[in-house]
Structure 1
Amino acid sequence: MKKLNIYFTAGVPEPESTPEIMKLIQEAGADMMEIGMPYSDPVADGPVIQKAHELALNNGMTIETLFSQLKTVKQEINIPVILMGYINPVLSFGFENFCRECSESGVSGLIIPDLPPLEFEKNYQKVLKQYNLNFTFLVTPETSTERIQYLDSLSSGFLYAVSSSSTTGKENVVLKNEEYLNRLASLPLKNPVMIGFGIKSKQDFENVTEKADGGIIGTAFVNILLQNKDWRKNAIDFINSVKD
């Protein structure tokens, strides 16, 4: 069974929406969820998720608030919860303190795209292991085979294969990049490969998961939260449409 990972930004559309969205994602049949920690300069993200970060910050969402919300639903969420964000706010919070809070809040792993692998190995890997947290690195079509294997060796949980080197939410012909998907599938990787960026429909999900272990949907889901007053029903319908 191919795994579906749904991303959304904490604190959107309302400051207190996060626990409800977490339960909705689980009940609708997703296999894991990725929660974005709002940041003022989300460089890897396209306009939709940038807008979500801005709204979340305006709503007063902070890392502290997020952890307190996660703890309220910790006993109800049975699928993996991954936090995704940028290194500066995590360092401001205190890295070990952050990992401790993750462990106490039911978080199973982290994705921090701007944390360099060498720095990860030198300064952070031991702390993550101490708190039993997975860490996922990203690879792109331009990443060399040698580096893919290196990043896979550092990762745990899964390897995040970006469908292109653009920001999130772009229309991607790369979803059909057979050479890239074949190369990933042929490598003796220790982690499952999840494809992200540009997946907007069941057809996209099926295309990428022919050669990968799962897909990550972010922009299309966040768009529902941002644009529609009836977001609850539409969010459930969207996840069902991809999984059915």
Structure 2
Amino acid sequence: MSRLTELFTRKKNNVLNVYCTAGYPELNSTLAVMKALQNNGADLIELGMPYSDPLADGPVIQASGTKALQNGMTIATLFEQLADFRKEITVPVVLMGYLNPLLQYGFEKFCAKAAEVGIDGLIIPDIPMFEYEKEYAAVIQKQGLDFIFLVTPETSEERIKKLDSLSTGFLYAVSSSSITGSDKDFSPVESYLQRLQGMGLKNPVLVGFGIKDKATFAMAAKYTAGAIIGSAYIKALENGNDVETATKEFLTGILR
């Protein structure tokens, strides 16, 4: 059983997935941030691979990615940092990023290396469904990695069901078609999440974009297996004195 399957089998709701950017706030912060997240209640870590042209990322995550790139973060450096991370990190970890740097690194090589170090799954928003089935699925599946697709309120029911059938691990429900971290009224999202809840999907659903505090986490988790927090945590790191304290204070505010 994969780590993601085990997590969602053991914990049916209030699963907290926290996004962090590899190489932020410092180049060598990656493992310290992951350990702080695990130690303070995160069930799952979404580790962002910084890219110069991120499509779905809002200004906060973009800025963290820019800083990480300036710090010297590359995919090769990230894999060096992750070489022994499973000695300390037991929660599932998924890598989130964009296709271009992975192709430059070598897609098969990337998947093999991710599996070798102990990564559980991938979120690559700019791989379209057709290309995934035709070109990438076999490579990803060969390495035993889960692949998580994103759906939005505008995604048709037919397409949601298709993306759910192709996804493993969980399905990422984007709360709106905006970029991450944008402030929004959450009430229209409720009907969308209720619709997903009633579709009998194969995968557990985690909702992201706009989840930033205890109230929005609770609302999202009311209709899904849990939620993903990104920009709000990056802000907490940016404004905090040290990784451990900033993480503890932020996650305590969500989970208390």
TM range (shorter): over 0.9
Matched residues in 2 for 1:103 and 1:206: separation? Answer: 33
Q: Secondary structure at the match of 1:168?
A: coil
Q: Distance in 1 between matches of 2:88 and 2:220?
A: 30
CA distance in 1: counterparts of 2:242 and 2:27, whole angstroms: 17
Residue deviations 1:8-37 (CA, integer Å, cap 9, x gap): 110000000001111111111111000000
Task: Give the deviation of 1:129 after TM superposition.
Answer: 1.1
- SS of 1:164's equivalent in the other structure is coil
Q: Output the CA distance in 2 between the equivalents of 1:116 and 1:206.
A: 31
**Which residue number in structure 2 is paired with residue 74 of structure 1?**
86
Q: Of residues 1, 4, 8 in structure 1, which corresponds to 2:20?
A: 8
Distance 1:41 1:99 in 2: 21
Q: C-alpha separation between the residues in 2 aligned to 1:11 and 1:225?
A: 12
Between the aligned partners of 1:206 and 1:97, the Cα distance in structure 2 is 39
| Alignment-mate amino acid for residue 111 of structure 1 | I
Aligned counterparts of 2:17 and 2:114: Cα–Cα separation in 1:
19
Q: Which amino acid aligns with 1:219?
A: S
The question of whether the paired residues in 1 share the 8 Å contact of 2:33 and 2:243 is answered with no
| Letter of the structure 2 residue corresponding to residue 150 of structure 1 | K
* Matched ranges for 1:72-151 at <5 A: 72-151=84-163
How far apart in 1 are the matches of 2:232 and 2:189? 20
What's the CA shift string for 1:22-53, capped at 9, x where partnerless?
11111111110000001001121111011001
C-alpha separation in 1, matches of 2:17 and 2:104:
28
Find the aligned partners of 1:84 and 1:203 in 2 and give their Cα distance. Answer: 25
Q: What is the CA distance between 1:79 and its match in structure 2?
A: 0.7
Alignment partner of 2:220: what SS? helix
1:76-123 CA-to-partner distances (Å, cap 9, x unmatched) read 111110000000001111111001110111100000000011000011
Structure 2: gaps (5+ residues)? 1-12
> What's the TM-score once normalised by structure 1's chain length?
0.97
5+ residue gaps, structure 1? none
The residue aligned with 1:233 is: 245
- 4+ long deviations beyond 4 Å: none
Structure 1 position 209, deviation (Å): 0.7
The answer on 1:155 being equivalent to 2:167 is: yes
Distance in 2 separating the partners of 1:175 and 1:76: 39
**2:42 aligned with 1:30:** yes
Structure 1 CA distance, aligned partners of 2:154 and 2:94? Answer: 25
